[in-house]
Amino acid sequence: MKIHCTTCEYEGKHKNYTKGSLMIEIALWLLFIFPGVIYTIWRNTSGKYKGCPDCKSKSVVELKRWNKRQLMKEGA
């Protein structure tokens, strides 16, 4: 899927991101098992998003939709 980033104006392929930090997750698993489990569950359930590979922003729009919006603005 090609995207348009409304933050930095990037156009191209999106990148998948996961909220949180892998290093913190590893440290929690090594030092404290129970918080590590909770942190892993949180990262995998609520933390995934498709974003801009340049600025890591979540404010991306599918390129087809963005082009339609631009055409509608120009026509109005």
Please give the model's pTM, rounded to 2 decimal places. 0.62
Is-contact 41 48, C-beta < 8 A?
no
**Domain membership of residue 28 as a residue range:** 2-75
Residue 14 — left, alpha, or beta (φ > 0 → left; ψ -120 to 50 → alpha)?
Answer: beta
Query: What token pair was written down for 26?
Result: 């590893």
Give the confidence band of 76 by pLDDT, cuts at 50, 70, 90: low
| pLDDT for the residue 64 | 79
Count of structural domains within the chain: 1
Residue 41: the pLDDT is 92
Per-residue pLDDT of 18-73, as tens digits, reads 888 999 999 999 998 899 999 999 998 887 888 999 998 888 988 877 777 776 77
The answer on pLDDT for 13 being more than 80 is: yes
The set of residues, in sequence order, having a beta carbon less than 8 Å from that of 71 and lying 6+ positions away, is none
Q: How far is CA 51 from CA 11, 13, 19, 72, in A?
A: 11, 9, 11, 25
